């Protein structure tokens, strides 16, 4: 999916959702527990570190809770920034108290992706990646007439929605403040193509599916109730 990326409305939506959760919890405080917080995500694929924002909401009588999170990493291939992403994740989690102030937790869910492509980078990286892996000469010649020349071939890059999982530890510093350390597993399907502008079935078209690793170490601070 592709759309113009403007992080401020998305962050505003996350903040509004956090306020709504806080107000709701105030109404039924005796039965509802939750948290809102901010995290620093350190991506294992070499993407620059990013802030993420989220919330958790559960009921005191159930062992599971709901969670939601927004983050905005950069998708990279060959070290190049293919595009800026918006990731909205939702799911369920559960935690186990191991001491007075320490809990371990496991979360799983689904991540919805949106990406704004860096067209000049996608043009170059798609060609470099596909030609280096598929050009074998003979009847496997490069299917487009030129290299790194805008307009002489079409290209496409996309990232699919997918599954996310997280395992971590929460330290309760006070009745309303906690810090967390976690590792997030996120592997998303991505597709890249190059083709002739006058593409016909079976001619002038190369594509490849790959896995985009957006796993990350996370350190967060949370307001809890």
pLDDT tens across 108-165, in order? Answer: 999 999 999 999 999 999 999 999 888 766 667 788 888 888 788 899 999 999 999 9
Asked whether residue 1 is assigned to any structural domain, the reply reads no
Instruction: Inform me whether the pLDDT recorded for 99 exceeds 90.
Output: yes
- How far is the C-alpha of 159 from the C-alpha of 210, rounded, in Å? 10
Q: What is the pLDDT of residue 8?
A: 45
Asked whether residue 220 is assigned to any structural domain, the reply reads yes
For 181-218, what is each residue's pLDDT tens digit?
999 999 999 999 998 877 665 566 899 999 999 999 99
Question: Which residue segment(s) compose the domain that 168 sits in?
Answer: 7-224
> Which residues, at least 6 apart from 26, have a Cβ–Cβ distance to it below 8 Å?
none
Number of structural domains (the chain) is: 1
Determine if residue 122 is left, alpha or beta; phi over 0 gives left, psi from -120 to 50 gives alpha, anything else beta.
alpha
Asked whether residue 2 is assigned to any structural domain, the reply reads no
Q: What is the CATH number of the domain that holds 180?
A: 2.40.160.20
Instruction: Inform me whether the pLDDT recorded for 166 exceeds 50.
Output: yes
Asked whether residue 49 is assigned to any structural domain, the reply reads yes
């Amino acid at each position: 999916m592709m759309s113009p990326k403007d992080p401020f409305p998305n962050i505003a939506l996350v903040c509004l959702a956090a306020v709504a959760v806080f107000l709701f919890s105030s109404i039924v405080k005796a039965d509802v527990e939750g948290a809102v917080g901010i995290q620093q995500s350190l991506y294992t694929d070499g993407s620059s570190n990013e802030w993420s924002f989220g919330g958790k909401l559960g009921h005191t009588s159930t062992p599971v809770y709901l969670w939601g999170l927004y983050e905005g990493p950069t998708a990279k291939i060959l070290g190049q920034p293919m595009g800026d992403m918006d990731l909205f994740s939702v799911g369920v989690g559960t935690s186990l108290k191991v001491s007075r102030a320490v809990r371990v937790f496991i979360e799983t869910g689904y991540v919805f992706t949106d990406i704004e492509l860096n067209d000049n980078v996608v043009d170059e990286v798609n060609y470099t990646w596909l030609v280096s892996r598929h050009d074998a000469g003979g009847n496997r010649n490069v299917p487009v007439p030129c290299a790194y020349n805008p307009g002489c071939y079409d290209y496409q890059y996309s990232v699919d929605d997918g599954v996310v999982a997280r395992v971590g530890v929460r330290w309760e510093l006070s009745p309303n403040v906690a810090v967390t350390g976690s590792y997030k597993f996120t592997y998303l399907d991505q597709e890249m193509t190059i083709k002739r502008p006058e593409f016909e079935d079976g001619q002038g078209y190369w594509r490849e599916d790959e896995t985009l690793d957006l796993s990350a170490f996370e350190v967060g601070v949370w307001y809890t109730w």
